[in-house]
Each structure stands twice: as structure tokens, then as C-alpha cells.
């Protein structure tokens, strides 16, 4: 499985959004500027995030986006499945032969299970906390 630009940019943008404190709406232009991402592409990403219930939006001068849930409730699995769809390493591999079924059961399904468990065990809050620790050590900004 290879993560698309949509998934990679979406993860960066959602962590950025969460790090802003969640008390006021954040414009995509602000996120795009901080993360050096294409504003046009972020609009597509956030459209998918809004439809998936990850963020909420408000129009107007003080509008923008907020997370639609607490960062501790949003797992990387939920976020990435909204953006990427199926996260299977094989994308539903063919199982027409005994050999293909054998590989699916012995290799691909266990890999999928490990990936899913990992992504379900990490929340956006975990990412924020880890970034904050690294930021203190390195003295770097967002």
C-alpha cells in the first residue's frame, strides 16, 4: 500500500488544525501557508474530510475549519480511511487459486491486521503530544 498525496497532506493538515487549539475556525490559507501545501489541493482534501465528518466548516470572514471531534477520539485509521478508502495492502487481492488464497491468509490478511491495529492505536492527540515533545527538544516551530 502506498499512501497518496491526499492522505499525506490530509494528515499534516489535520494535525496542524488540531495544534491551533480548536477554539476558533482556521482558514485553509493559514494551514496551506504553515505547511507549504497547495491551497487548491487542500480544498479537495477538506471537502472529503467534511463529508467524512472529521471537520466542520463555517463561511465568512472568521470562517474556516474546526475538528468535529476531540483529537483524542480521532484515530489515524478513521482519518486515513476517509481520505484513502480501503487501506488494505493488496486492495482486495484475487483469491481464485489455492496459492492465492494461501498468500492472502498467511501474508496479506495478517499485514492488513497489523496496519489497522497500528492506525487504530494512534490518535491525533497522540500526534499532537509527540510533536509538542519534539518541538520542546528541538526548539522548532510548526
C-alpha 126/C-alpha 116 separation (Å) is: 16
pLDDT tens-digit series, residues 48-74: 999 999 999 999 888 999 999 999 999
Give the pLDDT of residue 79: 98
C-alpha 13/C-alpha 41 separation (Å) is: 11
- pTM of the predicted structure, to 2 decimals: 0.88
C-alpha 68/C-alpha 34 separation (Å) is: 21
The parent domain of residue 32 ranges over 5-138
Per-residue pLDDT of the chain (142 residues), as tens digits, is: 689 999 999 999 999 999 997 789 999 999 999 999 999 999 999 999 999 999 999 998 889 999 999 999 999 999 999 999 999 988 766 678 999 889 989 999 999 999 999 999 999 999 999 998 998 888 766 5
55: left (phi over 0), alpha (psi -120 to 50) or beta: beta
How many folded domains does the chain comprise? 1
Give the pLDDT of residue 47: 97
Q: Which three cell numbers stand for residue 109?
A: 490478511
Give the pLDDT of residue 140: 66
Q: Which three cell numbers stand for residue 107?
A: 501474508
CATH classification at residue 74: 1.10.10.10
Amino acid at each position: 500500500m502506498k499512501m497518496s498525496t491526499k492522505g499525506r497532506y490530509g494528515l499534516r493538515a489535520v494535525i496542524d488544525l488540531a495544534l491551533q487549539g480548536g477554539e476558533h475556525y482556521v482558514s485553509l490559507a493559514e494551514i496551506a501557508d504553515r505547511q507549504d501545501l497547495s491551497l487548491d489541493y487542500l480544498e479537495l482534501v477538506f471537502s472529503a474530510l467534511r463529508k467524512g465528518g472529521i471537520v466542520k466548516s463555517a463561511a465568512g470572514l472568521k470562517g474556516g475549519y474546526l475538528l468535529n471531534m476531540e483529537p483524542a477520539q480521532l484515530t489515524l485509521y478513521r482519518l486515513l480511511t476517509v481520505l484513502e478508502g480501503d487501506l488494505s495492502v493488496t486492495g482486495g487481492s484475487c483469491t481464485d487459486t489455492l496459492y492465492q488464497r494461501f498468500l492472502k491468509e498467511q501474508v496479506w490478511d495478517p499485514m492488513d491486521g497489523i496496519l489497522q491495529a497500528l492506525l487504530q492505536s494512534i490518535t491525533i492527540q497522540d500526534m499532537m503530544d509527540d510533536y509538542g515533545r519534539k518541538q520542546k527538544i528541538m526548539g522548532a516551530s510548526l
